[in-house]
Amino acid sequence: MEQPSMKKRTIKLSLEKGRRSVARAQAAVEFALIAPVVLVLLLVGIQFAIIGAASLGLGQANYQAARYAAINPTASQSAVQTFMLSVASPLISANIGNYVTTTVSPAPPCSFGNTVTVSLSFDIAHLVVLPNPFLGIVTFPTALTSTESAVCE
């Protein structure tokens, strides 16, 4: 009498093992389908984070450059750019500032009470590590610009 119940138990255990292996295989297939999509989203997010950090750094450097030009009314465009690079984020001042173009208007000297405007243009093509456009869907910017004005003192 004990043998038939042992057979049922053995069959039941082998069916449970079969179901577990099917569940594992299903999970592996689902992971294989989802992983590339998640990886692409992660890479695009990281790329946009790098571009965003460069944009914030450019804005801060431009603010500092405009303030410097306003406080030092006889400062030349090259002096403003040198100061800006000395206080800029490493993303902006990389390669001795070869990726940044600075424009100061009006040309020095700046009279008391007048406005001086500093414009920066930053070539970020070297920061875009993914193909551009990416998968024909996402296009990353290749240049950032920022303009800041300050009243001369």
Segment 103-125 shows an average pLDDT of 92
114/70 Cα distance (integer angstroms): 9
Which pLDDT band, with edges at 50, 70 and 90, does 26 fall under? Answer: confident
Which pLDDT band, with edges at 50, 70 and 90, does 104 fall under? Answer: very high
Which pLDDT band, with edges at 50, 70 and 90, does 17 fall under? Answer: low
> Is 0.75 topped by the overall pTM?
yes
Q: Could you give the 3-state DSSP secondary structure of residue 129? A: coil
- Domain ranges for the chain: 2-151
Alpha-carbon distances, residue 3 vs 6, 7, 9, 111 (angstroms): 5, 6, 10, 106
Residue 35 has pLDDT above 80, yes or no: yes
Q: pLDDT tens digits for 62-100?
A: 999 999 999 998 999 999 999 999 999 999 998 988 999
Which of 14-18, 41-45, 139-143 has the weakest average pLDDT? 14-18
